[in-house]
């Protein structure tokens, strides 16, 4: 039985760090294990311009404890007013690694997102030309589309048409939650990748709703049926280079989640690697954990994998705190529902 596993240091290809007091509290949780992360731009107000991204990157680096190293890979929040020249300049200067498309109204702080993709064609064409990837929140927002169908409908109505209309555009379908998305990604050429979160490999929709509503399991896209969860686990553990880790660790202070209108997001940064090792061991795929956490993501983004390593060890159950304290209130950790035996040493 394997009890120790050394990996190239992982990266997180989809992370919410927020700002201010929450940023200061959650950043070390990611920096402890991850060398780099794609930083989501859905602040209030959002990170729209190169100037916004530079200022946010400076705030992140200022919040990083001195003894830690961590590289924030910045993204721009795509709006219908985004200037292709500003995007190209931000890319050329090495400031941004991707642009994020939020359909307006799809999720947390997406009000300034895109209503009509025709209005961002110029930016997408520029991105295809310069090789800057587009990260996509893949859900339609039409009120009459059932929330459990929004990802599958997005593929047909938005993602596939946009990719056909913009040859050469590299796209990451973020936090895929359905078998439909896994099948679509695997049916396409290598210019389409997908991130998979830790929590979507652990929970299905029953975890949210059976026996009382569990706000800390509510995230977007919402977890689907068991069959979809199994498809995500199979994709993540397959070694297919198109699938890589994006935790979508998304902290909200507890009162904002435990509310009559609770925010979407699961906070997994502190124990993601412990949970993933458990999942990969369950799937008899520990030998492919490094591919998922540390190799496929850099390859997709055209970056070198990290040259440092991290070791996971299996032993007695590890205890993580139930919540971490922040200057904006406590933030509860995602509860995987099983004891964790792998820990980073």
- What positions carry a catalytic annotation? 248
Q: How far is the CB of 47 from Zn ion (least distance, A)?
A: 13
Residue 265 contact among ligand DOR, Zn ion, none, beta carbon within 5 to 8 Å by kind? ligand DOR
Query: 3-state DSSP call for residue 181?
Result: helix
Stretch that binds ligand DOR, among 182-190, 228-236, 261-269, 302-310 (CB under 6 A): 261-269
Residue 294 contact among ligand DOR, Zn ion, none, beta carbon within 5 to 8 Å by kind? none
Rounded-to-5 percentages of helix, strand, coil across the chain? 40, 20, 45
Closest CB to ligand DOR among residues 42, 306:
42
Closest CB to ligand DOR among residues 3, 259:
259
Stretch that binds ligand DOR, among 51-59, 262-270, 286-294, 320-328 (CB under 6 A): 262-270
How many other β-carbons are positioned within 10 Å of the β-carbon of residue 30? 25
Name the phi and psi angles at 243, rounded to 5: -115, 130
d(CA 51, CA 90): 9
From residue 103 to residue 122, the character string flagging contacts with ligand DOR as x (rule: CB under 6 A) and all else as - is ----xx--------------
Which one of residues 103, 133, 265, 305 is an interface residue with ligand DOR (CB under 6 A)?
Answer: 265
Position 220 contacts ligand DOR (CB under 6 A): yes
Closest CB to Zn ion among residues 135, 285:
135
Closest CB to Zn ion among residues 222, 310:
222
Q: How far is the CB of 139 from ligand DOR (least distance, A)?
A: 8
Sites for Zn ion among residues 192-251 (CB under 5 A): 248
Strand-strand pairing, 323-324 and 331-332: antiparallel
Which one of residues 64, 88, 256, 264 is an interface residue with ligand DOR (CB under 6 A)?
Answer: 264
DSSP code of residue 281? H
H helices of the chain, in order, are 20-31, 50-63, 84-92, 121-130, 150-154, 160-165, 179-187, 205-209, 226-237, 254-257, 272-282, 289-290, 296-301
Tell me if the bond preceding 341 is cis, omega within 30° of 0: no
Which one of residues 9, 14, 16, 57 is an interface residue with ligand DOR (CB under 6 A)?
Answer: 16
Q: Annotate 103-169 with DSSP letters as a single string.
A: BTTSSTT-TTSBS-GGGGHHHHHHHHHHT--EEE------TTS-GGGHHHHHIIIIIHHHHHHSTT-
Residue 137 contact among Zn ion, ligand DOR, none, beta carbon within 5 to 8 Å by kind? ligand DOR
From residue 124 to residue 163, the character string flagging contacts with ligand DOR as x (rule: CB under 6 A) and all else as - is -------------x--------------------------
Q: How far is the CB of 220 from Zn ion (least distance, A)?
A: 8
Burial category of 149 from C-beta neighbours within 10 Å (exposed 0-12, middle 13-18, buried 19 and up): middle
Point out which residues bind ligand DOR (CB under 6 A). Answer: 16, 42, 107-108, 137, 219-220, 250, 263-265
Point out which residues bind Zn ion (CB under 5 A). Answer: 248
């Amino acid at each position: 039985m394997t009890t120790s596993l050394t990996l190239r240091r992982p990266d997180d290809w989809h992370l919410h760090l927020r700002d201010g007091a929450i940023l200061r509290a959650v950043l070390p949780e990611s920096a402890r294990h991850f060398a780099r992360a794609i930083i989501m731009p859905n602040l209030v107000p959002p990170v729209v311009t190169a100037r916004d991204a530079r200022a946010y990157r400076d705030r992140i680096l200022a919040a990083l404890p001195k003894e830690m190293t961590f590289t924030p890979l910045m993204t721009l929040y795509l709006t219908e007013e985004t200037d292709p020249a500003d995007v190209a300049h931000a890319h050329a200067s090495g400031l941004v690694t991707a642009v994020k498309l939020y359909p307006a109204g799809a999720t947390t702080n997406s009000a300034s997102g895109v209503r009509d993709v025709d209005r961002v064609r110029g930016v997408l064409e520029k991105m295809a030309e310069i090789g800057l990837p587009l990260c996509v929140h893949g859900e339609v927002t039409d009120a009459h589309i059932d929330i459990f169908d929004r990802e599958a409908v997005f593929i047909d109505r938005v993602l596939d048409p946009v990719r056909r209309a913009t040859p050469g555009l590299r796209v990451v379908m973020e936090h895929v939650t359905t078998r439909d998305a896994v099948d679509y990604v695997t049916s396409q050429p290598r210019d389409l990748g997908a991130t998979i979160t830790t929590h979507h490999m652990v929970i299905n929709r029953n975890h949210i709703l059976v026996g009382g509503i569990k706000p800390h399991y509510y995230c977007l896209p919402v977890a689907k049926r068991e069959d979809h969860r199994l498809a995500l686990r199979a994709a993540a553990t397959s070694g297919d280079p198109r699938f890589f880790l994006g935790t979508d660790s998304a902290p909200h202070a507890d009162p904002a989640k435990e509310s009559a209108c609770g925010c979407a997001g699961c906070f997994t940064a502190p124990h993601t690697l412990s949970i993933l090792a458990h999942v990969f061991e369950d799937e008899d795929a520990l030998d492919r954990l490094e591919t998922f956490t540390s190799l496929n993501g850099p390859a997709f983004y055209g970056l070198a994998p990290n040259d440092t390593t991290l070791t996971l060890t299996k032993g007695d159950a590890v205890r993580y705190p139930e919540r971490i304290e922040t200057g904006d209130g406590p933030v509860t950790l995602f509860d995987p529902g099983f004891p964790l035996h792998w820990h980073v040493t």
